[in-house]
Each structure stands twice: as structure tokens, then as C-alpha cells.
């Protein structure tokens, strides 16, 4: 059985392996042990907090095959995208330039550096082992986190968002970076994403343009990729889109990857959560697929199971119930998939 559970200190070596495998595309999972260690420590601390309102917390989950202990993926949530430090993005503003005299009415786009999304909760660090891409386990990482966020509303903001990687090739060349960011930094795309993940954000304030950038003056190759998602993240994009996440006018500052967001009330999953108790399935009724979440104050685990929902009970196989090993105090939720 594969479960989504909070990361523990004992996961460090495996996490390092996953971070390395995920490559630069998952910029919030840098392959640097010290950083991963502090991420896990911060996550453990966050779970332990009695949270009344979102702040500095960051929750890191891993996907684990319970029987072997192997880690197969990751997913994280930042309570606030920019709490200690601002969360920078480009906002694609439209300025209307209009002249009756010349009969010109143009919509001029300009990218403005901003912190607007700092107070959104942010899903990040999504990674799934390649072997599981065509299974339902990617859903587990994403929907499991959404379930977690729905069950603990006081830990999260009203708006949720995710930054998806934009277009870059296998040599690490990102067209938007080449024609925009590089003018200000003079360094490679991979390098800046690494700095972004491992350093505080002062360097962004120091190096990025203060003035809005007129899109019409940006090289066409870069314009063409604005808001486009990298093929590696297509899956994650679909999962989020199904749950109501939509691109708005914000893009990532380095590769112009889309930033998807949604108000928590508009997420379909949140409407479909049912509180249940578990029981052993003795009958022969046809089973359905459910996302199952087990929560108590400081812990949350999720998995995907086959079961029968009847009344307030979810009937699972004996084997699954044993594997799940839920504790008495835990609340249990499920969502039909």
C-alpha cells in the first residue's frame, strides 16, 4: 500500500535521492542535504504547532510504499507563499493606450514585479517517481494535500496556488530567462533557480527590474512561452485544473511558468469530503475508488483504496484496515474519485 505521510528525519537520505532525481525542474526540492534537512525539520515543527492562523508553517509529505519503505514521491504546502520573505511573481497588467485622434486603441501588456501572492497558500515540491506517472498515485500527492488543507482550514489561507515550471529545454535553456532575466543577472537559468531555492530572496529585490516590462518589447521567443507549462509538469497541471485551479495574470519570474490559483471554496474536492468510520467489508458489493485521509491534531496520512460507502461507514478489506493501522483518536475522511 502506498501512503502519503508527513516527512520524517529518517527520510533524509531517500529525500536527497528523490531531489536529485527530480532535477532542477522541481526548484523547491533542491538536492542539497542541509536544505532538505531544514525543510523536514520545519515540516515536523509545523505539524506540531497549534495553528490558529497561517504563518510560517511549511508541510512536507512523502509518498511511501508501506511494505518496503521505499519513497516514491513528494509534495509540500507552504501555509503562506511569502511569510518571512515576499513571494515574487510577475503580474501581467494590461494598460489601455487609447487615442481618438489617431484611432488607435491598444492593449499594452506590461509585466510588473509584485508580492501580490504572498498571502496565498502554496502547493509545491511535487514529484512522482517516473514508474508511477501513469497510475493514480500522482492524484494521491495532489488531492491528498488538498484534503489535508480542507480538514485543517485554520492552517491555510483562503486562496491557494501552485507555481508550475515553464518552458525550458533539456540543456537548461529557458527562452523567457534568456530574453528577460538574463539581462539583469547574466547567469544561467539553472543557477538562478538554485539560488531561489537555497537563499533568501534579497537577491531578487536587488537584481530584478523595478519598472514594468512592456511585453511588446520582449523577444518573441520569450513572449511565446509566457504562461506555458513544461511537459514534465503537464500531469500536475491537469490534476490541479480538475480541482478548479486556473491561471490568472501571474507568471513565475524566471521562466514565466503559469501560476494557478483558486479560492478554497471553489475546489470540487472540498465539497465532496465525507466524514466516515471504517469497517471491514464482508459482502460482495462492487467497490469504488476513494481517497482516504486520516487525521489527528499533528498528523495526516492519505491513501487510495477500494471500498464501499454506506451511510457513514466506509467498508474496506481486512488487509487494508490492518495496513492502515489507524488510531482511535483519528478522524477519517473520504472522497470518491
Partner 1 sequence: MMIIRPIKRQDKQALLQLAAKTGTGFTSLPDNESHLQARIERMIATWEGKAPLSEQGYLFVLEDSTTQKVVGISGIEVAIGLKEPWYDFHVGTQVHACKELGIYRQMKKLSLSNDHTGHSELCTLFLDADYRKNKNGQLLSKSRLLFIASFKEKFSQRIIAEMRGVHDAQGESPFWESLGRHFFAIDFNEADYLTGIGKKAFIAELMPKHAFYVDFLTAAAQSVIADVHPTTLPARNILESEGMRYEGYVDIFDAGPTLEAYTSDLRVVRKSRLRQVKIGATELSGEQILLLGNDKYQDFRAIIASPLLDRSSIYLTQSQAQALSVIDGEQLRVVPLFEKENSL
Nearer to partner 1 among residue 134 and residue 206 (C-beta): 206
# of chain residues touching partner 1 (CB under 8 A): 31
Listed ranges 24-32, 51-59, 214-222, 255-263: which one lies at the site for partner 1 (CB under 8 A): 214-222
Instruction: Choose which of 30, 54, 181, 212 interacts with partner 1 (CB under 8 A).
Output: 212
| DSSP per residue, 36-66 | HHHHHHHHHHHHHS--SS--S-EEEEEEEET
Consecutive H or E run containing 275: strand 274-280
Instruction: Choose which of 17, 53, 214, 241 interacts with partner 1 (CB under 8 A).
Output: 214
Q: Does 186 bind partner 1 (CB under 8 A)?
A: yes
From residue 129 to residue 168, the character string flagging contacts with partner 1 as x (rule: CB under 8 A) and all else as - is ----------------------------------------
Consecutive H or E run containing 78: strand 70-78
CA pair distance 175, 321, nearest whole angstrom: 50
Instruction: Give the angle subtended at the CA of 63 by the CAs of 200 and 285, to the nearest 5°.
Output: 145
Question: Measuring CA to CA, how many Å separate 85 from each of 198, 285, 312?
Answer: 13, 53, 44
Instruction: Choose which of 67, 131, 170, 202 interacts with partner 1 (CB under 8 A).
Output: 202
Instruction: Choose which of 80, 213, 262, 276 interacts with partner 1 (CB under 8 A).
Output: 213
Bridge partners (DSSP) listed for residue 105? 98
Nearer to partner 1 among residue 141 and residue 213 (C-beta): 213
Question: CB 99 → partner 1: shortest distance, Å?
Answer: 4
Question: CB 227 → partner 1: shortest distance, Å?
Answer: 19
Q: Does 224 bind partner 1 (CB under 8 A)?
A: no
Q: Three-state DSSP class for 287? A: coil
Q: Are 121 and 149 in contact (CB under 8 A)?
A: yes
Listed ranges 81-89, 97-105, 129-137, 312-320: which one lies at the site for partner 1 (CB under 8 A): 97-105
Q: Would you call 217 exposed, middle or buried from its count of C-beta atoms within 10 A (0-12, 13-18, 19+)?
A: exposed
Q: Are 264 and 196 in contact (CB under 8 A)?
A: no
Residues 275-304 that bind partner 1 (CB under 8 A): none
Contact positions toward partner 1, by CB under 8 A?
95, 97-99, 101-102, 104, 106, 108, 110, 183-187, 195, 199, 202-203, 206-214, 216-218
Amino acid at each position: 500500500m502506498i501512503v502519503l505521510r508527513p516527512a520524517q528525519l529518517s527520510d533524509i537520505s531517500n529525500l536527497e535521492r528523490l531531489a536529485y532525481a527530480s532535477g532542477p525542474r522541481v526548484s523547491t526540492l533542491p538536492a542539497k542535504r542541509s536544505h532538505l534537512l531544514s525543510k523536514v525539520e520545519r515540516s515536523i515543527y509545523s505539524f506540531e504547532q497549534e495553528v490558529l492562523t497561517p504563518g510560517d508553517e511549511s508541510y512536507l509529505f512523502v509518498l511511501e510504499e508501506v511494505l518496503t519503505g521505499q519513497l516514491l514521491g513528494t509534495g509540500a504546502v507552504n501555509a503562506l507563499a511569502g511569510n518571512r520573505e515576499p513571494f515574487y511573481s510577475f503580474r501581467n497588467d494590461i494598460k489601455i493606450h487609447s487615442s481618438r485622434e489617431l484611432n488607435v486603441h491598444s492593449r499594452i501588456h506590461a509585466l510588473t514585479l509584485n508580492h501580490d501572492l504572498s498571502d496565498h497558500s502554496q502547493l509545491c515540491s511535487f514529484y512522482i517517481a517516473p514508474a508511477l506517472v501513469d497510475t493514480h498515485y500522482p492524484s494521491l500527492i495532489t488531492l491528498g494535500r488538498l484534503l489535508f488543507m480542507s480538514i485543517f482550514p485554520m492552517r491555510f489561507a483562503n486562496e491557494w496556488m501552485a507555481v508550475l515550471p515553464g518552458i525550458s529545454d533539456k540543456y537548461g535553456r529557458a527562452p523567457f530567462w534568456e530574453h528577460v532575466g538574463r539581462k539583469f543577472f547574466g547567469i544561467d537559468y539553472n543557477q538562478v533557480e538554485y539560488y531561489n531555492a537555497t537563499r533568501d530572496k534579497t537577491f531578487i529585490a536587488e537584481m530584478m527590474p523595478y519598472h514594468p516590462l512592456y511585453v511588446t518589447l520582449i523577444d518573441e521567443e520569450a513572449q511565446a512561452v509566457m504562461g506555458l507549462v513544461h511537459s514534465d509538469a503537464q500531469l500536475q497541471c491537469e490534476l490541479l485544473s480538475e480541482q478548479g485551479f486556473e491561471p490568472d495574470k501571474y507568471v513565475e519570474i524566471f521562466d514565466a511558468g503559469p501560476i494557478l490559483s483558486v479560492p478554497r471554496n471553489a475546489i470540487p474536492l472540498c465539497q465532496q469530503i465525507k466524514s466516515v468510520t471504517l469497517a471491514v467489508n464482508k459482502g460482495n458489493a462492487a467497490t469504488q475508488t476513494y481517497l482516504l485521509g486520516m487525521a489527528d491534531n499533528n498528523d495526516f496520512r492519505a491513501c487510495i483504496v477500494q471500498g464501499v460507502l454506506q451511510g457513514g461507514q466506509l467498508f474496506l478489506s481486512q488487509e487494508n484496515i490492518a495496513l492502515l493501522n489507524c488510531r482511535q483518536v483519528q478522524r477519517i475522511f473520504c472522497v470518491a474519485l
